[in-house]
């Protein structure tokens, strides 16, 4: 078997080390990405706990005119105004406790001249599939809402019947200036008293840190192991391919001792030679 040359062995070792360093760099990048996701989750939970547990404040105080919900997300606010009749839009594909439901989205005109999109509640989807069987009418006249502010969801571009995202892009256009965000209704108070929502109130989501921090340490650990494993693999490869290659001078082959010429065996005179001599 031909032993690889020294140059090819060096290239193999360098290649192994470079691949291990590349894997290390990818693992470090993935680790920082997971850590970033963990920090985002932690900040969101801190904001949720700080705002959701506070007493409700007026909408104009939490979100001044011309501003988006932003850092006011999860803030409990009160807002006065009227529901825009005919603006009810069914949000599909949002189960509640594993039950098929429709969320009831609607526009709410505030007393300060803006429009707030609200998730007013949810109703179970009937076997008939007809909204008229379960969807309640919007309250008429002035009412006061207590809502939890949320940032609007990204638009998925679908324009089917109803909505698939809570975003103004999938709602009928309001007459007033729309607030960038929406409110999850917690209470509706009118002349006839207060109710929690239209249908049932949409439960607030449960926020958790998830496993991003664990994945962070896994990726960083892999980043440490990769170069160590690469060096060990390169060392083993160098040893298995031999210490010297074809470029090294080969030792002279030992010459075999000269063969001693075989002496011909002496033989006596033949019978004919003996007869001639007589």
Per-residue pLDDT tens over the stretch 53-77? 778 999 999 999 888 888 788 899 9
Taking the CA of residue 205 as centre, how many other CA atoms within 13 Å lie in the half-sphere pointing to its CB?
12
Residue-wise pLDDT tens digits, 18-53: 888 898 999 999 999 998 988 888 887 887 777 767
What's the CATH fold of domain 56-195? Answer: OB fold (Dihydrolipoamide Acetyltransferase, E2P) (2.40.50)
pLDDT at 268 over 80: no
Residue 106, Cβ neighbours under 10 Å: how many?
22
Tokens representing 188? 């509706």
* CA dist., res. 222 & res. 224, Å (int): 5
- Ramachandran region of residue 212, left (φ > 0), alpha (ψ -120 to 50) or beta? alpha
Contact predicate 130/140, CB 8 Å: no
Cα Rg, the chain, nearest whole Å: 42
Domain boundaries along the sequence of the chain:
6-47+211-240, 56-195
Contact predicate 150/74, CB 8 Å: yes
Q: Which helix (H) or strand (E) holds 254?
A: none
pTM over 0.75: no
């Amino acid at each position: 078997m031909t032993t690889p040359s020294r140059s090819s062995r060096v290239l193999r070792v360098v290649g192994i080390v470079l691949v291990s360093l590349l894997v290390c760099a990818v693992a470090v990048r993935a680790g920082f990405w997971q850590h970033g996701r963990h920090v985002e989750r932690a900040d969101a939970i801190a904001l949720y706990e700080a705002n959701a547990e506070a007493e409700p404040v007026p909408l104009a105080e939490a979100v001044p005119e011309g501003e988006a919900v932003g850092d006011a997300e999860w803030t409990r606010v009160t807002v006065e105004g009227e529901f825009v009749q005919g603006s009810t839009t069914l949000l599909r594909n949002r189960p509640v406790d594993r039950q098929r439901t429709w969320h009831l989205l609607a526009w709410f005109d505030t007393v300060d001249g803006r429009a707030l999109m609200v998730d007013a509640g949810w109703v179970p989807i009937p076997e008939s599939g007809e909204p008229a069987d379960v969807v309640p009418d919007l309250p008429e006249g002035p009412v006061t809402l207590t809502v939890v502010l949320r940032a609007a969801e990204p638009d998925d571009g679908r324009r089917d019947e109803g909505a698939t995202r809570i975003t103004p892009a999938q709602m009928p256009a309001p007459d007033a200036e729309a607030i960038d965000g929406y409110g999850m209704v917690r209470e509706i108070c009118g002349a006839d008293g207060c109710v929690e929502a239209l249908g049932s109130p949409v439960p607030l989501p449960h926020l958790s840190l998830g496993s991003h921090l664990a994945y962070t340490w896994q990726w960083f650990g892999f980043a440490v192991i990769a170069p160590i494993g690469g060096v060990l693999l390169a060392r083993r490869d160098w040893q298995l391919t031999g210490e010297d290659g074809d470029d090294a001078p080969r030792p002279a082959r030992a010459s075999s001792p000269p063969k001693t010429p075989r002496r011909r065996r002496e033989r006596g005179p033949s019978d004919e030679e003996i007869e001639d001599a007589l």
